[in-house]
Amino acid sequence: MLTLAILAVTLTSGTACSPPRVSQAVGNYITPGVLGDLPYHGDLTLDAYTPEGEPHPVAVIIHGSYGDKRTHLTQLFEPVGRAGFAWFSVDYRNREDVKEAIQFIRCPGRFNISSVMFLIGEDTGGEIALELAAAGGFQGVATFGVKLSGQFVARMLGNKGQPRRVLPAVPVHMFHGTDDDESPSAQAQAICKEMPSCVFHAVSGGIHQFENWHQDEWAWKEDLTAWLRGDRRGLWKDIVYARPAGRDLLMDGYIPEGSGPFPVAIIVHGGGWEAGDKVTYVSPIFEPLARSKIGWFSIDYRLTPYVRVPDQLEDVRSAIRFVRQHAERFHIDPKRLALIGESASGHLVAQVASEPCPDCEAQAVVSFYGVYDLTHWWHGQEWQRQMLTRILGDVPPETAARYSPIEHVANSLPPMLLIQGTKDELYKGTLEYAARLKKAGAHFDLVLLEGAPHGMENWEGHPEWVIYKQRLVQWLWSVFEHR
């Protein structure tokens, strides 16, 4: 990921501009809060998304030779907004119209925006974006399936001894399908190589219009969002970390302020393998981790009855691989990674730790009131047998043992912290697991909260129980400092 240099942008001088006239009060029927059909030059209009709060950086979106400001580029709206940007999608007839739109947008006081402006163009709009950026005044350019005219290529690369036109000096990211037969990727890649700061993203199998790229080709959304965010820290929402069977799996993340790289925790919510999401059950630990300079990612994963435990374990492994793969992007140290789970996900993180695989290892595991032995359920009451069938299927006892962390205890396990309330029905199972860990010579610690029931959410407001937060961060740092 490139670190973006924030360049000064000269704004139109004078008094504040008049507010824009909104022709379409309901917006664009795509994104809530959009101001629709704002006239900016004669009969030409643009759509504007300008969130409240602090002034936002700006992305000007330039459609190509097909459609208009609301077609062929709608997949850009959500990732650009998720990056914390205001955006403007422009109708135009030529490059001069786009310049008029930019002047309209930049007029002081008209919109809640900062001086930072990026250009995003698709198809022929990509060429316009590159030409405008070459003249200066912008912080970056992204193109999608850029279609370059012969005249543009000649000017940019030089032709028969003619001097080259100045290329954009700002960071440029080009997203281009490898199967683009309207604008072959080789030409765009050649232009990219000539620029002082250009990253070419070859989208394997992608055709010309990026709205037709398949779901397994959608990593561009995360790449674009991360690039636009640059080095900003804090809370990241709805990061897609995997797309099994075409379904987006999301995580929220928190990146501390500072130079890093920071240790990181991947948080997996509980809910009986069938309920919850990335902000339920586990939210009490977000703040103590963040305050202690530990980055974290809280994940969604697929739930029963739609999938079973093996799929859920693979989702956890996918999250680990994703965070490791993008360690530089998130300013985290992939060699100091912890897994944190509770209840059903205590089972999941303990099982993942028991079965190390390439790029999905953890250096520490924290399990709150986890489930460690499924063989008891196979031999247990009817409700337990039904639960086992729901999460694993109609399986023999060997399979129940296969997915029971207590059956895979060894001294090679990563350091493990067990946190357990004594008034929780899972208390006995945690003591049994701790005894097995001790017998095997595994590195573990056990924190018992006297009288605490099941669920860390139920511990809030009880000082005698919430002391676990301090114990949690102290234990994590004690492990990380020895890495």
- CATH code of 100's domain: 3.40.50.1820
Same domain for 310 and 455, yes or no, is yes
Residue 26 belongs to some domain of the structure: no
Residue 203 belongs to some domain of the structure: yes
Nearest CA among 68, 79, 63 for reference residue 37: 68
Same domain for 169 and 313, yes or no, is no
Which of 172, 197, 228 is the last residue before a domain boundary?
228
C-alpha 304: how far from its chain's center?
24
Domain that holds residue 389: 234-480
Report the mean per-residue pLDDT for the chain.
93
Rounded CA separation 483/473 (Å): 16
Contact 309, 349 (CB under 8 A): no
Across 338-347, b (16+ Cβ under 10 Å) vs e yields bbbbbbbbbb
Residue 18 belongs to some domain of the structure: no
Rounded CA separation 292/300 (Å): 24
Contact 144, 210 (CB under 8 A): yes
- pLDDT of 309 over the 80 cut: yes
* pLDDT band at residue 258 under the 50/70/90 scheme: very high
Query: Strand 295-299 relative to strand 262-268: parallel, antiparallel, unpaired?
Result: parallel
Query: Strand 332-342 relative to strand 444-449: parallel, antiparallel, unpaired?
Result: unpaired
Token couple for 150: 């012969």
- pLDDT of 264 over the 60 cut: yes
Cα-Cα end-to-end distance for the chain: 26
Residue 334 belongs to some domain of the structure: yes
- pLDDT of 95 over the 70 cut: yes
* pLDDT band at residue 4 under the 50/70/90 scheme: very low
Contact 267, 340 (CB under 8 A): yes
Element (H, E) at 316: helix 309-325
* pLDDT band at residue 64 under the 50/70/90 scheme: very high
Instruction: State the pLDDT at residue 7.
Output: 33
Rounded CA separation 329/78 (Å): 20
Contact 285, 268 (CB under 8 A): no
Same domain for 215 and 127, yes or no, is yes
- Sign of the dihedral defined by the CA atoms of residues 282, 288, 290, 292, in that order: negative
